[in-house]
Structure 1
Amino acid sequence: MENMYGIKYSQPEVVLLQDTGIGVAETAARTCYDSFSNSENGVINYIEENMPDAEMRDEINDIEESNLLGDLAWTYFHHSILEHANLSFLVRGTSRGVLQEHARHRIQAISVRSTRYTMSSIINAFVAAQGDKEFFIEKILSFDMFVTCDNDYNKLEISAIFDKLAYQQTKVENFDDIAIAKSSLIFLQEFKANSQAMFEALQTGKKKRNVGDAFKHIITDNVKVDMVVTFNLRSLKNYFTLRDSGAAYFQIRWLAQEMMRVTPTKYLNLIVKKK
């Protein structure tokens, strides 16, 4: 997809991993008002005088509609009861730039692909290149690691990564020691005449632990990241309101729209105004 600035970007992929249902939220609301007998859901009626067993718990979690939740969400704005419903999303292919926007949403659980532990392939490509910038560029280009889709632009990004690593290489005496595992140092001599063979050997060898600690500075906000993010329904309402807006940063707007697309209707009815 092309943004308003003329640059083509890939879009993130989103899958809903789990959702806890709206039944617990209705149970919470009925507890507030002591109105279990007024529910259109029979299993909620039963709770007035009985504690639910395991089978009833499943029925509660399978509830698809609640008139009370609709009234509280849209007429009385009693949104705290929405905090009892949670949704978890697997996101692939958003950008590090989006992470900065996500950090502004305080109430969420987020686990992100770590640069500390997942940069080995980039560093292995640089070591194996042995100064051959074109080898490095073509190897990194094959990783599909940027949200931008223009190869010429991405080559500029990769060239800058190479230059940063080459500069750092001049500043430390033990570059190879901080770049690859001790057991892989032998490959530097064994495959000195063959960059591709050296790269493959480094890839199959032991990975340097926390290699990203020394090299996080080489990547930009354009790099793809994957994450799992969990919102309670009240926080998701806030997220969609702010991020599915023309004023939002375009990449997080795309992400919000994909998250909304995979969110079941029973939740959207409580948090997104119908157009």
Structure 2
Amino acid sequence: MRVQIASEPGRPGRANEDFAAVAPGLFVVIDGAGTPADVGTGCEHSVAWYARHLGGAVLAAAVDAGTGLDEALAVSIERVNALHVRTCDLRHPGSPSATVALARMDGGRLEHLVLSDAVVVLDRIGQSPAVVTDDRLTDVIARLDEPERSPAVGSDAHARWLRDRVERLAAHRNRPGGFWVASTKPEAAGEALTGSSSLDELNGVALLSDGASRLVDRFGLLGWPELLAVLRKGGPEELIARTRDAEASDPVGARWPRGKAADDASAVWWAREDAVPRDL
């Protein structure tokens, strides 16, 4: 088994709000949901703090193969709540939150969990990749009837647009008919997408934050098979480097409208040492 991991902030010198880690047979990517500085959260801790502590708790809880991945996530949310319930208002709609991608080997199977727009890509032998992501956040954004193009990234108008979007999304977060993320409600874990695959059917698996999947799902520069090819050849660092090149080619979001010119990006890649060639 070969495992590679990479995680870097969208801008040098800025806190990385992603968390990526591995343990024997266990892989996790947490993507903290950043908010504009002038939007209240009711919490004295940063999004990066939340992502790190949730990621550590998930690793500890999911090590036990007898605990379901959704149960492990629910327990982890409760444990992080306990760390700051006395100092922060956990009822605040803007409380720090994160998306989650989690995978675990259990016997001859690979279990996976995805909450919100993190991505798990299963590199299946002799088949097209299976892509697992939760598009309910995308559905809510579509219902907000936003203009087709956002203002130029970095402009004052873009900052106002982003602040307005975050405030409107808060009304739909962790509610039926809205979208679900890890935050202060353990029941959100029950809304995660889960499944399992036989390890005999897989060449590998990728766990991606949305900053590492945007070459495919936002920029449309690669398909999922091509993204897996990048990971097989150059690993997560190459994938992130290519993403940075694409972001730098469109710094104000003229070609690809988006909330951040460059996003935090994290990828975990597991590949079988005896991987079956893709042309078989």
TM-score bin, normalised by smaller chain? under 0.3
Under a length normalisation based on structure 1, what TM-score does the superposition of the two structures give? 0.24
Under a length normalisation based on structure 2, what TM-score does the superposition of the two structures give? 0.23
User: Larger radius of gyration, structure 1 or 2?
Assistant: 1
User: Larger helix proportion, structure 1 or 2?
Assistant: 1
User: Larger strand proportion, structure 1 or 2?
Assistant: 2
